[in-house]
Amino acid sequence: MRYLVGKCSIYLVWEGCKRYAETLEEAVLEDFLVRDTFDRKIDYLRISVTDRCNLRCRYCMPEEGVPSIGNGQELSFEEIYRIAKVAVEQGVRKIRLTGGEPLVRKGLIPFIERLCQLPQQPELTLTSNGLLLAEQAAELKRVGLQRVNISLDTLDPERFAQITRRPGLDRVLAGIDAAEQNGLWPLKLNMVPIRGVNADEIADFARLTFERDWQVRFIEFMPVSGGLDYPPESRFPAAEIVAALKSIAPLQEIARQGPAGPARLFRLAGAKGVVGVIPAVSEHFCGKCNRLRLTSDGFLRPCLFCADEIDLRTPLRAGCDDDELVRLLRGAVQIKPERHRIAEEKGNIPARGRKMQGIGG
């Protein structure tokens, strides 16, 4: 009996110590996380690894593409890795690779593998148009990518070619299958409904969640650079998206869990998956914004919709040390605005020379 009581006390003391150590570790981590002047914890970095793309979506890119910023100006993977490593040491816990189309850049897979080996093990995700995913999904998973968001605006092949100025719906669908089969999960589909173009497909996309445990998200069209081929009036506001969803089946809003992303999430009655609405323009979720963006030519952008940028490429190439990078990173966090001013800009978002693929949407 005395033996059992003794063993039990040792166990309880051990559990107590473990919990104390965990609490201490959490507190230390919290200390290192970067907070901005509005007390938001900035722990998410979106990295544009290239501004090039194999599609030409009419709301994102001009037909002729973008004059490639070329090897001279584009950050090398070594340079991006240095920035990411310092950011992670400063408390960044999630990294999303985007572009342009990230899968067109050679050397992406070994780069992802290195990021995954960082001791802090940041969550690593990627946004892709899916065209090259069928070929790359297995390797992406093998080196440690956790999940992927796939952008798709129509389920009709002709319309796909019309919106993206390229054929390829079948390849995107194969990419979605490959992502699922290789466990890049949970799978998120991003659709941008545009009035008079594809907004009539909202219900078809939402119905996919009856059969599939996906998150199908509808992103309000943002008229960056004047909207390129689609005028600002083609924006299909979040309220209308929700109304379209309600016409399919009863819609239940899902309470947010964990760190809040920008999407309002719902489940259609009887569905396996969920639908999300991202009111990028009509509402702002700036109060919860936790992100910084790194452009492919090496500028830190504290807000998607504000023109302020901090040049990291020049100091990097002048041989700056990690302390200088920390200072610049913290500087970017400190100038992060309280909120964007799209309403004042009458919905026409100032991108100041960059298009969406250049900012890393």
Binding site for ligand SF4 (CB under 6 A): 53, 55-57, 60-61, 99-101, 129, 151, 356-357
Distance CA 323, CA 329 (A): 10
108 contributes a contact to ligand SAM by CB under 6 A: no
90 contributes a contact to ligand SAM by CB under 6 A: no
Q: Which is nearer to ligand SAM, 91 or 298 (CB)?
A: 298
Say how far residue 271 (Cα) sits from the centre of its chain: 25
Provide the minimum distance between the beta carbon of 121 and ligand SF4 in the complex, in angstroms, as a whole number: 28
Q: Which is nearer to ligand SF4, 173 or 251 (CB)?
A: 173
Q: Which is nearer to ligand SF4, 99 or 279 (CB)?
A: 99
125 contributes a contact to ligand SAM by CB under 6 A: no
Residue with the two structure tokens 């610049």: 328
Which residue in the set 49, 52, 56, 59 belongs to the binding site for ligand SAM (CB under 6 A)? 59
Provide the minimum distance between the beta carbon of 98 and ligand SAM in the complex, in angstroms, as a whole number: 5
Which residue in the set 145, 187, 219, 303 belongs to the binding site for ligand SAM (CB under 6 A)? 219
Distance CA 60, CA 223 (A): 9
List of E strands, 261-346: 264-268, 274-278, 291-294, 299-301, 310-311
3-state secondary structure of 321: coil
Encoded tokens for 256:
């947010």
Distance CA 210, CA 194 (A): 23
Q: Which is nearer to ligand SAM, 221 or 266 (CB)?
A: 221
Distance CA 240, CA 199 (A): 10
Which residue in the set 90, 136, 190, 290 belongs to the binding site for ligand SAM (CB under 6 A)? 190
Provide the minimum distance between the beta carbon of 73 and ligand SF4 in the complex, in angstroms, as a whole number: 18
User: 120-133 as b/e, with b when 16 or more CB fall inside 10 Å?
Assistant: eebebbbbbbbbbb
Q: Are 265 and 215 in contact (CB under 8 A)?
A: yes
Which residue in the set 34, 45, 49, 60 belongs to the binding site for ligand SAM (CB under 6 A)? 60
Q: Are 279 and 286 in contact (CB under 8 A)?
A: no
Which residue in the set 36, 44, 93, 98 belongs to the binding site for ligand SAM (CB under 6 A)? 98
Which residue in the set 50, 128, 295, 296 belongs to the binding site for ligand SAM (CB under 6 A)? 128
Which residue in the set 44, 221, 236, 305 belongs to the binding site for ligand SAM (CB under 6 A)? 221
Provide the minimum distance between the beta carbon of 85 and ligand SAM in the complex, in angstroms, as a whole number: 23
Q: Which candidate, 242, 331, 340, 296, places its Cα nearest to that of 66?
A: 296
Q: Are 205 and 155 in contact (CB under 8 A)?
A: yes
Say how far residue 69 (Cα) sits from the centre of its chain: 22
Backbone angles phi, psi at 30, to 5 degrees: -60, -40
Provide the minimum distance between the beta carbon of 164 and ligand SAM in the complex, in angstroms, as a whole number: 9
Binding site for ligand SAM (CB under 6 A): 53, 59-60, 98-99, 101, 127-129, 151, 190, 192, 219, 221-222, 224, 356-357, 361
